[in-house]
Amino acid sequence: MAEAIMPQHNHLLAALSGEVQQRLFPHLEPVEMPLGKVLYESGDTLRHVYFPTDSIVSLLYVMESGASAEISVVGNEGLVGVALFMGGESTPSRAIVQSGGHAYRLLGQRLKDEFNRHGELLVLMLRYTQALITQMAQTAVCNRHHSIDQQLCRWLLLSLDRLPGNNLTMTQELIANMLGVRREGVTEAAGKLQRQGVIEYSRGHITVIDRHKLEQLSCECYEVVKRETDRLLPYLPQRKTAGLPSTA
């Protein structure tokens, strides 16, 4: 039987004290997060924040031409909608579900009320926002200086860290849109990983079978983001390679 989805499956919510949980949890609304669902578009006024449990949301910048590139991913380590408590109320990015699953939705005003108590939630949200900014900055550097092969490895590792297992449901076309590259480049890079025994890819399903090798093939950008996230958010479970054998 599948495990029931609980608010504590989101690590931010799980890190809150019982007192804060009692104030927020009654107002959490469980929502389905189907693949490709757009949570908000560029410039939309944000009314809710989302706490993913077993889904991943990509934040994309979309150009006038329609071209897009991912600037960060959010999964069970965080929340979507930091602009609400930072005072901006809107953002120039698009939020789209990259890996389907579930999340808990909370009315933005509820979060702001708790944030404005200047207690533990404020500290937690600010530390999470700093980790998110680090990921955005490193993504920009990676997209400019590293190969598609390395970018794909980084992207796969960041996604795995935000999911309970080692399987992703993702088309090559969607990956190309996330990375802001041509689909042919993703096809070639994924083919190399499959031939090296790092992943198995079939009909939009990716299974990572050698995470250790995947980390070796990635650029330093993944480790920079991981190290800073672990430093700022020590409540996160440590990334594990158990069950993902290495052939190195």
Going by pLDDT thresholds of 50, 70 and 90, the confidence category of residue 247 is very low
On whether the CB atoms of residues 48 and 85 are closer than 8 A, the answer is no
How much of the chain, in percent, has pLDDT values that exceed 90? 53
Mean pLDDT of 138-167: 87
Mean pLDDT, range 24-30, rounded to an integer: 97
Q: Does an H or E element contain 197, and which?
A: none
Write the pLDDT tens digit of every residue in 44-84.
888 999 999 999 999 988 877 777 778 899 999 999 999 88
Res. 248: pLDDT tops 50: no
Arithmetic mean of pLDDT, 86-114? 90
Instruction: For the chain, list the domains and their CATH numbers.
Output: 7-141 (2.60.120.10), 146-229 (1.10.10.10)
pLDDT at 3: 66
Q: How many CA atoms lie within 13 A of 239 on its CB side?
A: 20
pLDDT-derived band at 95 (thresholds 50, 70, 90) equals very high
Residue 245: pLDDT above 80?
no
pLDDT value of residue 5: 86
Angstrom distance (rounded) from CA 29 to CA 25: 9
What pLDDT score does 238 carry?
52
**Residue 66 exposed, middle or buried by CB count within 10 Å (0-12, 13-18, 19+):** exposed
Strands, E assignment, the chain? 29-33, 38-40, 48-52, 56-62, 68-74, 94-99, 101-107, 167-169, 199-202, 205-208
In this predicted structure, what is the pLDDT of residue 175?
77
| pLDDT at site 164 | 77
Tokens of 163: 């999911």
